[in-house]
Structure 1
Amino acid sequence: MSSPPPLPDPAVCEQARLSRDARFDGVFFTAVRTTGIYCRPVCPAPPPRAENVTYYANAAAAQADGFRPCLRCRPELAPGDGHWHRGDDVVARALALIDRGVLDDAPLAALAAQLHLGERQLRRLFVERLGAAPIGVRGTRRLLFAKQLLTETALPVTEVALAAGFASLRRFNTAFREAYRMAPRDLRRQPGVAAASDGLVLRLGYRPPYNFAAMLDFLRSRALPGIERIDEARYTRVVGDAAAAGWLRVSHWPATAAGPAHALRLELHGIAPTRLQDTVRRVRRMFDLDAEPTAIAAHLAQDPRLAPLLRARPGLRLPSGWDGFEIAVRSVIGQQVSVAAARTLTARLSQRFGHPLPEMLAAQGFAHLFPTPEALVDGDFDGLGLIGSRIATIRAIAAALLDGRVDFDPARTLDETVARWTALPGIGPWTAQYIALRALGHPDAFPAQDLVLQKAVPTDGSRLDARALQARAQAWRPWRGYAVFHLWRDAALSAPPAATRSRSPR
């Protein structure tokens, strides 16, 4: 996969910042040499003179050159860099590993080894493409997350430091002072913006357009009773494990008199500080908040079959899943049955094997967690309505995850992921690609064996076979996953309910 340019054309950047174009939020940052501050292109402050501006591809590059984040537009709210959205590019995979905390307890050499690169080569790639070394990128992300927690929540500074991945309060204070020229406590202003004492509220930005209604529609039809609740405007779910469970809710951030916020509202209840960063990372992936919809649409719209779908439903995103194992089990149960039937069978399995929740969470409408691999590897499936081959495959997945034969490692390419999963009994290319699409949110995953896709691409009532569909979709790379969901959504809205069978989108 070829690497996209790290920055738009300077003339495009200049026009975007002067017009405060939200489509470029997070695509680049504006640093002002006279103030030493860097901003998002949507910053409401009066625009500086062009001769005083330097453009950077990301916040880490700006901070590496000594600029501080703007307190008004808050760069920590910008969506992730759309150029390095999840995919097979080595920098994209490295960033995904950094987000998972690989560098928290291991040296840069360990990250390079996971990517089959030399340490020097990895550092060179980051500097060339992002303008900052991997350690600098990691440090900037941690500090920006801490800055958001300090600004939006009432968490004690000690817990903010833990949430941002710092081993001690002293190290956090030192890093914060060096980067921002102020102590963390000095950032705390206007206590009224903090969340209530029974939970936290965070703003998660995205680049418009965003079809949040379509996202909720997809998740609603697959919601598991006792684990998830989805109404017309909100997604609610229990998260955590048997030792510590909490819950979260995702909704649209309300618009103000100044216009739409271009953000989702994340409410968190009972989530330990050390799990906050991972929770936010999962939600951002699940709701595909770091996509660059304008660039994706411009690429896919070159195909005459996709162009009208993109016009009809702008901002359609990849609805990923909360947990990889959950998606893998659901993909097996959903093979060749309707979406409703798959949901019923999965709910039965969850009720039998999922860890029951305490009364405090039961009062919120949650009953149990999704089962763990340990619970399913030798579980008794009698009476659940699953056929023997499905049971064997679920047990094989659980065993393979426990012994490391398969995983949800973002360091792997799509081909590597598919090869590992299809080595398991009962997992064919369709299921492996679906797991990559929804468990990893891989933007180029493409289940060419899907009968709905094979019928949806032609407009004359014919059907493409998997080979022909693969050939047609080559021009859609590296965004084939978005084409999949546009075609699935079009088919679902066009077909009667009885047609949602046989390898339909699970």
Structure 2
Amino acid sequence: MDTFQGVVTTGIYCLPPCPGRPLSENVVSFASAAGAEAAGFRACHRCRPYRGDRRPSNSSELVCRAVDLIASGVLDTGSEADLAARLAVSERHLRRMFREQVGATPDQLARSRRAHFARRLLDDTDLPVTDIAFAAGFGSLRQFNRVMAEIFRATPQQLRARRRRADRLVADGGLVLRVPLPEPVQLDRRLSELARTAVRGLEHGTAEHYRRTVSLDGDPGVIEISADASGQPLLLAHLPRIEGLLHLVARVQRLLGGQAWDPHEAGVRNMVMDRVGAAAAPGVLAEIVERHGVPVEGLGRFGLTHLFPTSAALADAYSGT
């Protein structure tokens, strides 16, 4: 089923249900926001489809894998040819699949994701425009301004001036963001699951919140996930820098969707669980984190002490076993 609807008489696209009620003969459907934007439509000011994070509808496994790789930042420094090589298909085939199922090329989808994330930062935070550009993965302020004008028909400053009073989020410390999820999640249940499997020193959780250390290019940070008044996830981040914040939020989305923080950590967790069982795994993992993870100072108040060990650290530690 198509998700987004473009209205040919106004040039806008919406995410139903929307207060606007265009005539059916004036509506065209799109599988993604990027597809609507590639066709020349701009986001509706009423339903604000950029505030969600819907996957393209009815996508094949190949396209879904490609979308996941795009979310992880493959196209930040690589090309569509690099993405196709990761998927063991030709660039031409990948672009054809995207045009058919997404309505946009991989590059256009990546551009749309960056622009939508930046728009949410303009709404939710008081971050300077320059910081938002790099947090959303843009290579320069000039590129950021050009893309935002193309997609939203306004400058970043004009878009911030349009934000609604209830959008702005303020925290005593750190950066607080809303985290839209591609699929509905019972947040209280997921937070309880994370609390039950939390690894001492790396994570701390309750039914109301989940905290963990994170690494940005080797530098430590802390994130906290909780629920807002409507039950939707909020992210409070204490980070050494915000470049690439887009991809950290993508990891949070995957974590809340039931996946591990990253493939390396998932592999280690699964290996330990297979050897000692689910009940004993958190304790064994805590010992591994304490012995081989990088110590992090000043986070005792969060119940956190270490980063998760890198693959190189674990390889050195267990190469002789």
TM over 0.5: yes
Q: How does 1:58-457 map to 2 (within 5 A)?
A: 58-81=32-55, 83=57, 89-189=61-161, 193-196=168-171, 198-206=173-181, 210-240=185-215, 243-255=218-230, 263-270=232-239, 272-288=241-257, 319-359=258-298, 361-379=299-317
Q: CA RMSD in A?
A: 2.4
Match of 1:307 in 2: none
Shift of 1:341: 1.7
Match of 1:402 in 2: none
* 1:221–1:339 Cα contact (<8 Å) kept: no
CA distance in 1: counterparts of 2:66 and 2:183, whole angstroms: 26
Identity fraction in percent: 39
Q: What letter is aligned with 1:285?
A: R
Q: What letter is aligned with 2:193?
A: F
Q: Name the CA shift for 1:100/1:210 in 2 (closer, same or farther; >3 Å).
A: closer
Shift of 1:184: 0.5
* 2:123–2:160 Cα contact (<8 Å) kept: yes
CA distance in 2: counterparts of 1:203 and 1:96, whole angstroms: 20
Q: Which has the larger strand fraction?
A: 2
Q: What letter is aligned with 1:203?
A: R
* 2:43–2:49 Cα contact (<8 Å) kept: yes
SS of residue matched to 1:265: strand
* 1:204–1:284 Cα contact (<8 Å) kept: yes
Q: TM-score, normalised by structure 2?
A: 0.90
Q: Name the CA shift for 1:94/1:207 in 2 (closer, same or farther; >3 Å).
A: closer
* 2:181–2:253 Cα contact (<8 Å) kept: no
SS of residue matched to 2:65: helix
Q: Name the CA shift for 1:228/1:82 in 2 (closer, same or farther; >3 Å).
A: farther
The runs of 4+ residues in structure 1 deviating greater than 4 Å are: none
Q: What letter is aligned with 2:294?
A: H
CA distance in 1: counterparts of 2:184 and 2:84, whole angstroms: 35
Deviations 1:32-69 (A, max 9, x none): 222221121133x2423323222211101100111111
Q: Name the CA shift for 1:249/1:82 in 2 (closer, same or farther; >3 Å).
A: farther
Deviations 1:264-320 (A, max 9, x none): 2222222522131111111111112xxxxxxxxxxxxxxxxxxxxxxxxxxxxxx21
Q: TM-score, normalised by structure 1?
A: 0.59
Q: Which moved more, 1:206-215 or 1:46-55?
A: 206-215
SS of residue matched to 1:147: helix
Q: Name the CA shift for 1:351/1:97 in 2 (closer, same or farther; >3 Å).
A: same
Shift of 1:346: 1.2
Q: What letter is aligned with 1:252?
A: A
